[in-house]
Amino acid sequence: MSEKLKETNTKKICFATGILHGHFTGNVEIIKELASLGYDVTCYVTEEFADRLNGIPVKKTVYSADVSEIAKKLPPTAPFFAINSFMVGKATDVLITLLHNDRTDYDYYVFDGFFDVTEMNKVLQLDPSKFVIAYPAFVLTDENQLDEKRTIGLQQTNQKYNIHLHDFVGLLFMPNKFKKLIHTSRLFHVRPEDTDETCYFLGPNIENRAFDENFAFRKDENKKLLYISLGTIFGKDLTFYHRCIEAFKDSEEYQVLVSVGKFVDIQESFKEIPKNFSIYNYVPQTQVLSYTDVFITHAGFNSTSEAMTSGVPMVLVPQAVDQFDVARLVQKLDAGIILNKRETDITADIIRNAVKEAYDTRDSLKENMQKITDSFEETRKNRKALYSEIFC
């Protein structure tokens, strides 16, 4: 990096990163690129993800969005989004305090899309023309994403500051005037023709993490590998996992690796695990996808992008929010098989047949996935020019 280039990019950028895995992952590469281009970047990052910024020349303010004590008090019937709601509420509260006390004269503020910057700014009183929003996937949707029940964890922060934080998922799809960093391409976006001049397509970040030598799983070279994951948030669908077990238990064709997320007690939830199954709370996904034959996924944007980049045939089983949009878009582009739980009861037979279809049509699926990933690469080539335009 030349000194001259660095001198032209001395803008000070404050980056409030995502507090959930999928949101944070999309931000890492952008932060690294901005720092390498000479921008002066300060990151507000939760304790969970702080180490993933190690080695990047940025300033870090690390804070806690831990709500484990609240989680212990939630009833078993609490909706899956309750923990996330309290996390967003706490993170918003802490960020308001930290940013209010930060006297740095930033040129721009980049906020993860879950932060309701309009409401936060009623307290912060910053120049809104400096705001940029980082989106984990789409800025449009074909789903009704508004759900006031998701504001359950925001109420304490609302009362403290006399503001009205909106449903953080619905917020992603509400119109706003801010510049938007969108982690996809025009090809892989819902109704790209309806996006406007505030939308900057950057392409996704497929994070190449270090090889996890501590991950004990080993692939059986005599069998195909079926990898199943419903993601870090929606991984509690035990009925679905048990139907997968019913579909593939003792299979001579498939070895099955399942990631159930951190909220599932494996010993309690799976009394008998077939010998061809391995079940973990955490799986290094990008590492595993490199040798996966078929991937059953919840159609989260990051997981879907990682699978397409790895050329892995997918069976998409969307669970909530924009995952239905992602799955339908993959299906529209003939790049995967979709099972929609809103339209059919996903039985063991249906799962087995979908996996067979994905594997049998793998060549055509890979060809169409390649068209999408090519669009990602083309979009990513424009990043440097777009940064100059966004942070002008």
224-375 fold: Rossmann fold (3.40.50)
**Burial class, 21, CB count within 10 angstroms (exposed 0-12 / middle 13-18 / buried 19+):** middle
In this predicted model, which residue has the larger pLDDT, 114 or 79? 114
Q: For the segment 294-308, what is each residue's pLDDT rounded down to a tens digit? A: 999 999 998 999 999
Q: State residue 87's pLDDT score.
A: 95
Collapsing DSSP to helix, strand or coil, 126 comes out as coil
Q: What is the mean pLDDT of residues 285-292?
A: 93
Tokens found for residue 236 = 């509690």
Q: State residue 5's pLDDT score.
A: 40
Q: What percent of the chain has pLDDT over 70?
A: 97
Domain ranges in the chain?
A: 3-182, 224-375
**Residue 2 pLDDT greater than 50, yes or no:** no
| Residues paired with residue 316 on neighbouring β-strands, in sequence order | 297, 338
Model confidence, pTM: 0.85
Phi-psi region of 81 (alpha: psi -120 to 50; beta: other; left: phi over 0): alpha
CATH class of residue range 3-182: alpha beta
Q: For the segment 106-120, what is each residue's pLDDT rounded down to a tens digit? A: 999 999 999 999 999
Q: Which amino acid is at 189?
A: H
Range ranked top by mean pLDDT from 2-6, 189-193, 206-210, 320-324 = 189-193
Q: State residue 9's pLDDT score.
A: 65
Q: State residue 30's pLDDT score.
A: 93
Q: State residue 1's pLDDT score.
A: 39
In this predicted model, which residue has the larger pLDDT, 345 or 212? 345
Q: State residue 71's pLDDT score.
A: 82
Separation CA 303–CA 170 (nearest Å): 21
Could you say which DSSP state residue 129 is in? G
Least Cα distance to 314 among 297, 334, 289, 291 occurs for 297
Q: What percent of the chain has pLDDT over 90?
A: 78
Q: State residue 388's pLDDT score.
A: 95
Q: For the segment 126-175, what is each residue's pLDDT rounded down to a tens digit? A: 999 999 999 988 998 888 888 888 999 999 999 999 999 999 999 999 99
HSE-CB for 50 with a 13 A CA cutoff: 12
Alpha-carbon separation of residue 366 from 187, 229, 256, 313 (angstroms): 16, 20, 21, 7
Cβ proximity of 19 and 112 under 8 Å: yes
Cβ proximity of 119 and 166 under 8 Å: yes
Q: For the segment 356-372, what is each residue's pLDDT rounded down to a tens digit? A: 999 999 999 999 999 99
Tell me whether the CATH fold assigned to 3-182 matches the one assigned to 224-375: yes
**Residue 32 pLDDT greater than 80, yes or no:** yes
**Residue 6 pLDDT greater than 50, yes or no:** no
